[in-house]
Structure 1
Amino acid sequence: MADEREINALLHLLDDPDQEVFDTVADRLVHLGKEIIPSLESVWENTPNEAIQERIEWLIHRVHLQELLAAMKAWAGQPDDLLKGSLLVDKYQYPDLAEEQVLKSIEKLKRNIWLELNNYLTPVEQINVMNGMLYSYFGIKGIESTDKQYRQKNHFFIHQLVESRKGSSIIIGILYQYLCEKLDIPVKAVQIPQQYVLAYFEMEDAPWLYARTPSPQSRIQFFIDPVQGQIYSHKDIETYLKRIDAVETDRYYEPLSNKQIIQKLIRELAKCYPQSEYPNRRYELYHLAALLDD
């Protein structure tokens, strides 16, 4: 952290009309990290100049973005926690998000589902329990991609899903998969084109898996639409692929990694920022997504 005299000198140059001077000052302030934010907020509160306020808001956003890029890069190195990855995406729009309440709500939901499960349920019965708790008890409502509300940013943030009970298929799918993972239910997102679809896989220790190496498709028992929890058969998916003229390939049935899921979430979120209104937001989000490239 710089000393107080340097910080004061930098803050006094925020209104410098010379763009080159301001750019140098901005780079230095951003380099100081989140510790500089209270000072910037204090200047913002005490200046009536809207142009300076806009500069300060831009600087604070840059500081938060720098912190987020570092956090996402660290998560990408060990992407075990899908929920953590989705909460990082929330912090692009809500940098001061308090995660504790979100985590408590999801943990409570997980406990309620666990109480309804037992070792004697079939895969379909397990998913019926999941669906009953998520869509009836918890009240989640999926927003179809054809709905006019679909491109609202809040439908892609997991804390907003927990608060409002409404969200896009991908953010509901992330919550669904996270809960299944914690409850030892083998559900993962797959790469069906133009859709976000979950699949119920055979357990990794299924006896017949030792006999041969199965194709990805043969390991899937059925598919789940996270918008409403509807179950689809292999025939349903084959019919859908024919309808969109997609040539069937094993790749469609491979489970998505956590990094791929969060990358897809970020790219979908980016589409919620119109280029005309937010010229830099899409660039920032695609840069964030690029950190998750394999």
Structure 2
Amino acid sequence: MNNEIQFKIPLLVENKEITALFHLIDDPDEEVYNTISDKIISFGKGIIPNLEHLWENTTSEDIQERIETIIHKLHFRDLTDDFMNWKVGSNELLQGALLTAQYHYPDMNGTQPLQELEKLRRNIWLELNSYLTPLEQINVVTSILYNYYKLRGVEIAYTQPEDFLINKTLETKKGNAISNGIIYLILSELLDIPVKAINIPRQFILAYFDPHYEIMNPGGHASEKINFYIDPLNGQIYSHKDVENYFKRISVPPTTSYFKPMNNRRIIQFLLEELAKCFDNDRNRYKMNELISLSNLLDP
């Protein structure tokens, strides 16, 4: 399984200039502190162990808070670069989901989610064969994921940011429709199953796209390319009639755009936008703004 994210353990940097800057980190003048902070950040992530060492050896909560802010800014600067590289690079869904998780867990170990996904991929692959119908294929994926692996779905709650993040969903076997759906999409891609996310209003729904339909009817309505729909919350299958009834219930006309597959960039944008809503309060609004800025960064 390809994954370009590197998890490095930086070492303490010995530098007299750093020591001098650290002595000024508690300066009461906000302008002086901002200058000091910018200078420390200019050293890059390699300075984080020094900052952590300073945090451990100070009793002042104000200084500790300033150190935490500087460390966060360092992580965010690197993450912004990583998202920019992802946008112009492979756009791999797994990598985009792991980068999003790194916002909340900057020191997370990326190996564990990869191992869990590989176990799931292998278990599903062992049950698949080329004679299965589309519905039978999906029944295999759903059975392994929700019955054997025991992944469960919870309603979207903006008080629970962990439910949006792939590492925590795989660790706790609990996620919302978005994180469960991203796992379902990653496994489908690894197993060459034509499942895609579609843009139905107020939902994160997956669809099984008929691979032969596009060849036979290139000008057909987008919904006609879909065999059926999958709810990633629990793996439940929906028919075209179910989806028609949903559009009637919400009084929205089912236009073609709602049935077109979302690309990986748009899925990660949506994930960032939804995760940002978890921080819509005075204490954490800077996090909300940062996540929205990452989403905007991925605009075409």
TM-score bracket relative to the smaller structure: over 0.9
Deviations 1:215-254 (A, max 9, x none): 2111111110000111111111111011111122100001
Describe the shift of the 1:72–1:212 C-alpha distance in structure 2 as closer, same or farther (beyond 3 A).
closer
Q: Say if 2:175 is the partner of 1:164.
A: no
Q: Where in structure 1 do 4 or more consecutive aligned residues deviate above 3 Å?
A: none
Q: Say if 2:24 is the partner of 1:13.
A: yes
> In the aligned structure 2, how far is the partner of 1:244 from the partner of 1:79?
36
> In the aligned structure 2, how far is the partner of 1:49 from the partner of 1:151?
30
1:10 is displaced (CA, Å) by 1.1
Deviations 1:83-114 (A, max 9, x none): 11000001001001111121011101100000
| TM-score when normalising by structure 1 | 0.95
Question: Could you say what secondary structure the match of 2:27 adopts?
Answer: coil
> In the aligned structure 1, how far is the partner of 2:71 from the partner of 2:195?
39
Task: Name the residue aligned to 1:276.
Answer: 282
Deviations 1:96-136 (A, max 9, x none): 11111210111011000000000000000000001100000
Amino acid at match of 1:101: Q
1:212 is displaced (CA, Å) by 3.9
> In the aligned structure 2, how far is the partner of 1:61 from the partner of 1:164?
25
Q: Answer whether contact 1:144 1:150 (CA < 8 A) is retained.
A: no
> In the aligned structure 1, how far is the partner of 2:218 from the partner of 2:107?
50
Question: Could you say what secondary structure the match of 1:223 adopts?
Answer: strand
Q: Say if 2:210 is the partner of 1:202.
A: yes
Question: Could you say what secondary structure the match of 1:282 adopts?
Answer: helix
Q: Say if 2:232 is the partner of 1:226.
A: yes
Deviations 1:188-218 (A, max 9, x none): 0000000000000011xx2772454222111
> In the aligned structure 2, how far is the partner of 1:257 from the partner of 1:31?
35
1:3 is displaced (CA, Å) by 7.4
Q: Where do residues 1-294 of structure 1 align in structure 2 (5 Å cutoff)?
A: 4-145=15-156, 151-203=159-211, 206=212, 209-210=215-216, 212-294=218-300
> In the aligned structure 1, how far is the partner of 2:284 from the partner of 2:214?
53
Describe the shift of the 1:208–1:194 C-alpha distance in structure 2 as closer, same or farther (beyond 3 A).
closer
Q: Answer whether contact 1:143 1:150 (CA < 8 A) is retained.
A: no
> In the aligned structure 1, how far is the partner of 2:290 from the partner of 2:140?
39
1:150 is displaced (CA, Å) by 6.0
> In the aligned structure 2, how far is the partner of 1:2 from the partner of 1:171?
38
Deviations 1:20-42 (A, max 9, x none): 11101111111211011011111
1:279 is displaced (CA, Å) by 2.4
Q: Answer whether contact 2:199 2:261 (CA < 8 A) is retained.
A: yes
Q: Answer whether contact 2:27 2:33 (CA < 8 A) is retained.
A: yes
Measured on the aligned residues, the alpha-carbon RMSD in Å equals 1.6
Q: % of aligned pairs identical?
A: 47
Deviations 1:143-182 (A, max 9, x none): 123xxx5640110110111110000100100000110011
| TM-score when normalising by structure 2 | 0.93
Question: Could you say what secondary structure the match of 2:278 adopts?
Answer: coil
> In the aligned structure 2, how far is the partner of 1:144 from the partner of 1:221?
26
Amino acid at match of 1:236: D
> In the aligned structure 2, how far is the partner of 1:188 from the partner of 1:79?
17
Q: Answer whether contact 2:13 2:47 (CA < 8 A) is retained.
A: no
Amino acid at match of 2:199: Q
Deviations 1:244-268 (A, max 9, x none): 1112210000100101000101111
Q: Answer whether contact 1:79 1:85 (CA < 8 A) is retained.
A: no
